[in-house]
Homo-oligomer: A and B are copies of this chain.
Amino acid sequence: MPESKKKCTVRFEPSGLRTEVPQGTILLEAAHKAGIYLSSICGGDGYCGKCKVVIDEGQFESRPTTLLTPNEIRENFVLACQTKVLSDMTVTVPKFHSLETSQILMDTDAHRFSELVPKGLVPKGLAPKGLAAELGEGIFKFDPLVQKIFVEMSPPTVSDHTADHERLYLAIREQIDAPIMQTGYRILQKLPEVMQSSGYKVTATVGRRGETTEVIEVEPGDRRSKNFAVAVDLGTTTVVAHLVDLTSARTVDAEATYNSQINFGEDYIRRIIYAEQNDAFDEMQSRIVHDVNNLIVTLAERQKVDLQDINAVVCSGNTAMAHFLLNLDPTRIRREPYIATAGFVPPIRAAEAGVQINKRGLFYCLPSVAAYIGSDIVAGVLTTRLHTKKGISLFVDIGTNGEVVLGNKDWLVCASSSAGPAFEGSGVKHGMRAGAGAIEKFDILEDDSVQFRTIGNKHPVGICGSGLLDTLAELFTHGIIDRTGRFNVDEQARVTEGDEGLQFQIAAPDDGHQQIVITQADIDNLVRSKAGVFAAIRVLMESTQTKVDDLEAIYLAGGFGNFLDVRQAVTIGMLPDVPLDKIRFVGNTSIVGAKTVLLSRKALKTAEQIAESMTYFDLMSHTGYMDEFIRANFLPHTDLSLFPSVAKSVVGGV
């Protein structure tokens, strides 16, 4: 008979959250159970070293690791994923795990792109601002996927005996083009009551599914003004939602949150493996659905919108995330033949996926191209309009992976580099998402002093994408690192020997805050990451015989932060050496694309055409990719002739 295991209570400080687990439970699991977020890239395999916590009290057993410094070991740091709970314990979770510190920019960031709706989509003739204006006139008519239509009908009489259902159809068809119509069973059942109680003046909510117009709701009276929808960007790390008023096409509010699957691995490949090993696909779905619902409820409560008046959700995101959300088998995304279960997901009822809006509301997923080219990339093309331009443009999305699209109105090619999420802050000692306290701008001045700006002007707690790009470029241009990325130890007083080898001090320790440094390993990671992206760009350009001079525009998307210096992306050799006015930082094009689709049926069709017409290059099986990657593992590149402007201003100057 198995002996029943002793129960241990684990208390986490400073939150005070506690949980009870059987003796022998891994501390990382105990943290999950208590609802504590601990950074973890490797999903608990013990090699990323992110899940550090301090044991204040209690007995534990920890496997040896090289990922803790002698100092950390002295301070009772352990890796939560390598530690077993043996008694009641008290554990302190260091501040760097905290999600809260990042909340502010998420909102700002989301708001910032809320105006990215092409002109034609604005029904009231409001002029678009910012990028929307730059991108030119919208090509889509305002024609949302879900509409509310107010219909005033004559009540039936003995001489006008048309049934309620057909009466409603006739009235709807007077206002919109809807050759094929469908009504849900529950709507049919309640129709007579709504028609009669309102004197045959009702508001019909109609959703479009392919060529079919479906009546998804019928309400008494004129409720046209209560028609909302939510666009969602399903990121591996961050989930962003915009609440859109479908009457005015206005973005009412925006909100973002961390993807709470993050406990199971920071990249989606890790999460797929975790789900396979632990039969946790339901859990994966429930977490991401929970995140989406939380965002929707937060937005609805803040804007005093009834959830029943939210009639559609449009998602875009990478292929794995869309599979997790819908609980479609994602396992072959990570394993030969590297395919998706579905690239095109037909619209379903949101309730079927557990998304809590109007219970007959519709859920749309933008189409994806391949296992590693998700609908977020299709949304990016839709937003930047590569597919409409005569000249050749390049679209680069830097996230957990780096996806690249090249093309024009006649052709589109794409590839995904598994370059890793270094520019999202992962695999970088003090890397972090673009949130409060993140260093987003960094300069080395002439006198070798440094200058930086943090998001929200907080005390620096880490470095976000734009700050990392600056750091790498500045270290390089000031000769503190050489073209291979190695520190020139002679050059700078700020380069010191740390626990993990040489490191450069960006911010000194202050007021109880740790110092912020960048290590040799961080630099190697960042160089590998940019090399992966550039190699992908090269493969696509070589395959299509596109010269650098042929590029009319480069669009750089991703969650770098607010102020990205695109010049630095050329300096480090991530983007081709084109005149700087050809490069645009376009932020989160995934959410903008989702929103565009929400507001225009034509945009959804266009997204489908884009997804169908894109040719995918599988870099893993591409013979030239590894060569290109190795050649790109220099600053800016092995072949300086590819970066004449950098060679002239930087390398030539060293």
Contact = CB atoms under 8 A, between A and B. Distances in A.
Interface of A: 155-166, 180-185, 188-189, 191-193, 209-212, 326-329, 331-332, 336-346, 348, 352-353, 370-371, 616, 618, 620-621
A161 to B, nearest CB: 5
Contacts of A182: 209-210, 346
A341 B159 contact: no
A624 to B, nearest CB: 16
Contacts of A348: 184-185
A163, A193, A212: residue with the most chain B Cβ atoms closer than 10 Å: A163
Contacts of A329: 189, 192-193
Given A161-B370, A210-B180, A211-B180, A191 B621 contact: no
Given A209-B182, A212-B211, A340-B163, A345 B158 contact: no
Chain A to chain B: the 3 pairs with minimum beta-carbon distance, closest first: A165-B342, A163-B340, A192-B329
A165 B212 contact: no
B344 A621 contact: no
Given A161-B371, A166-B344, A211-B211, A189 B328 contact: yes
A343 B183 CA distance: 13
15 contacts: A156-B339, A159-B618, A161-B339, A164-B341, A165-B342, A165-B343, A165-B344, A165-B345, A166-B343, A181-B346, A183-B342, A188-B328, A191-B342, A211-B211, A211-B212
Contacts of A618: 158-159, 161
Contacts of A327: 189
A212 B215 CA distance: 16
A502 to B, nearest CB: 40
Nearest to A169: B344
A372 to B, nearest CB: 9
Contacts of A161: 337-339, 370-371, 616, 618
A584 B343 CA distance: 57
A205 B295 CA distance: 38
B165 A337 contact: no
A166 B345 CA distance: 9
A188 B325 CA distance: 13
